[in-house]
Structure 1
Amino acid sequence: MKKIIFPGLVAGTILFTLCYGSLYMAVQFFPGIFIEYSNPLFNSDGSRDLLFYLHAFIISLALSWFWERFKSLFHGHFLLRGLEFGFVYAVVALLPVMWITFSALDITILMIFSWFAYGLMQAIIAGIVFAKINP
């Protein structure tokens, strides 16, 4: 359990910092993408905001378990292992979720692509952290 919790919390802290920092920068440099979030679909009363902010830790703990279970399948330098881990996660989990999200909700392909890229980036960073901490 220690091999899952500690790396998951480390990756969660890194993802929380990097993802929210990069999200802030993306809003500044690509405001056109974020205009789509004025859609009523994304308006919340604020009661679930904490869940949104905790997502970096939830995904990191889940990916840490996945890493512990399948790390023997990834070979090479820790950067390469982290990159491959991120791509496997993106193909196995993100692609199907983005497909169903795009088909079920009235959102643009650009929004789906940005979510896919965001999730891929998170998984690669987490994979690199796991490959370094828990080889």
Structure 2
Amino acid sequence: MKKVLIPGLIAGVILFIVSYGGLYLSIKWFPEFFVDYNNPLFNSDGSRDILFYLHAFVISFALAWFWERFKGLFHGNFILRGLEFGLVYALVALLPVMWITFSSLDITVIMTVSWFFYGLFQSLIAGIVFAKINP
């Protein structure tokens, strides 16, 4: 259990910092991209905001479990293993989710593609962290 909890917590903290730092910088540098988010689909009454902020930890614990279960399938140095892990997750899980999200919600292609790359980036970072601290 420690092989999932500790790496998951470490990756969660790293993803939290990188994700929200990146979001802040993206809004600052590319504000026109975020105009599409002024849509009732994305407005919340604030009661569930904590769930949004905890997503880095939810994804990191899920990926930590996935890593622990399948890490033996990835070979090479820790960077290659982490990158392959992140890519596998993105192709197996993110791509189908983005496909169904785009096909069922009134969102733009750019928004969907950015979410895919955001998830890919998170999984690559988490994979490298897991490969380094839990080989």
TM-score normalized with structure 2 length = 0.99
Q: 1:49 offset after TM fit, Å?
A: 0.2
State the partner residue of 1:30: 30
Q: 1:32 offset after TM fit, Å?
A: 1.6
How many correspondences in the alignment?
135
Unaligned runs of 5+ in 2: none
State the partner residue of 1:99: 99
Q: Distance in 2 between matches of 1:25 and 1:7?
A: 27
1:19-46 superposed Cα distances (whole Å, 9 cap, x missing partner) = 1000100111111211110010000000
State the partner residue of 1:116: 116
State the partner residue of 1:3: 3
Q: Distance in 1 between matches of 2:23 and 2:84?
A: 24
TM-score normalized with structure 1 length = 0.99
Unaligned runs of 5+ in 1: none
- After TM superposition, the structure 1 = structure 2 runs for residues 1-135 of structure 1, keeping only pairs within 5 Å, are 1-135=1-135
Q: 1:77 offset after TM fit, Å?
A: 1.0
Q: Distance in 2 between matches of 1:72 and 1:29?
A: 40
**Aligned-pair RMSD on alpha carbons?**
0.4
SS of residue in 2 equivalent to 1:14: helix
Question: Greater shift after overlay, 6-15 or 24-33?
Answer: 24-33
Q: 1:54 offset after TM fit, Å?
A: 0.2
Percent identical residues: 73
Letter in 2 for 1:96: P
Q: Distance in 2 between matches of 1:24 and 1:117?
A: 17
Letter in 1 for 2:22: S
Q: Distance in 1 between matches of 2:78 and 2:38?
A: 40
Q: Which runs of at least 4 in structure 1 moved beyond 3 Å after TM superposition?
A: none
Letter in 1 for 2:58: I
